[in-house]
């Protein structure tokens, strides 16, 4: 079994279990949060495979198992597109079930940080999403022919362990979000912190990625990171509850 796939699966399981815990702490229906997370993950996974097949039909006909496996080297835009489709699926379920948006996002944020952190560890072990060449003392070199075949990882060259940078960011955020959860001053605050900080970190970590092609402006991941930053800032914007705003408006009148 490919290491990257195993850690990705572990990340999904850990995220699901964490959602159950945060849902309980925020007084949300655990079954609905579980269903929402499962729906979003499976929708994103299915979308990534369908997009891969659609863009590499000739390769799928020749090697269907390789294309549908957990370790193909995606086009740069496919992960972002599949994630967006997964988020859309989760959003539709959230709206259909009438779940409170901001509180639900607060429950999902720590789980997302934990799942992405485990996935980044898997990428480091497997050699996926490798970093740029460096002379730093903590550089890592890969020697596996499978890494070179599946991820085009340069062999026997010191590289930035950018995957570990990402994992460290995720795990620190995970611990901070769990500690912040009972101390938040408004709904959506925890999700806003995660989106803003992870978006900023992911944007700058892209400059240390060696597996992305040079773009005219930003990479697809950086564009997604900018959207995360803006969304996080919107969630962190201090707002008055509707009842309080109505009372103040009546008093001024």
Q: Has residue 21 got a pLDDT over 90?
A: yes
The percentage of the chain sitting over the pLDDT mark of 90, rounded to a whole number, equals 60
Task: For 121-161, write each residue's pLDDT tens digit.
Answer: 999 999 988 999 999 999 999 999 888 887 889 999 999 99
pLDDT at 224: 87
Output 166 or 4, whichever has higher pLDDT: 166
- pTM equals 0.84
Task: For 180-234, write each residue's pLDDT tens digit.
Answer: 999 988 999 999 999 999 999 999 999 999 877 655 578 878 888 999 999 999 9
pLDDT at 45: 85
Distance CA 201, CA 205 (A): 6
């Amino acid at each position: 079994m490919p290491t990257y796939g195993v850690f990705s699966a572990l990340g999904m399981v850990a995220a699901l279990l964490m959602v159950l815990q945060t849902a309980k702490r925020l007084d949300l229906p655990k079954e609905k949060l579980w269903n929402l997370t499962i729906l979003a993950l499976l929708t994103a996974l299915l979308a990534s495979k369908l997009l891969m097949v659609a863009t590499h039909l000739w390769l799928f006909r020749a090697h269907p198992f390789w294309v549908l496996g957990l370790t193909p080297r995606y086009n740069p835009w496919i992960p972002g597109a599949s994630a967006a489709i997964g988020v859309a699926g989760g959003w539709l379920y959230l709206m259909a079930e009438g779940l409170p948006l901001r509180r639900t996002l607060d429950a999902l944020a720590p789980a997302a940080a934990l799942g992405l952190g485990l996935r980044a560890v898997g990428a480091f072990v497997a050699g996926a999403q490798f970093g740029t060449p460096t002379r730093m003392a903590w550089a890592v070199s890969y020697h596996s022919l499978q890494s070179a075949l599946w991820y085009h990882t340069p062999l026997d060259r010191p590289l930035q362990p950018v995957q570990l940078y990402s994992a460290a960011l995720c795990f620190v955020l995970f611990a901070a979000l769990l500690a912040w959860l009972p101390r938040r001053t408004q709904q959506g605050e925890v999700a806003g912190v995660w989106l803003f900080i992870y978006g900023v970190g992911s944007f700058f970590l892209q400059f240390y990625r060696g597996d992305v092609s040079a773009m005219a402006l930003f990479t697809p991941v950086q564009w997604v990171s900018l959207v995360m930053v803006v969304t996080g800032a919107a969630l962190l914007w201090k707002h008055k509850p509707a009842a309080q705003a109505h009372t103040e408006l009546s008093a001024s009148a």
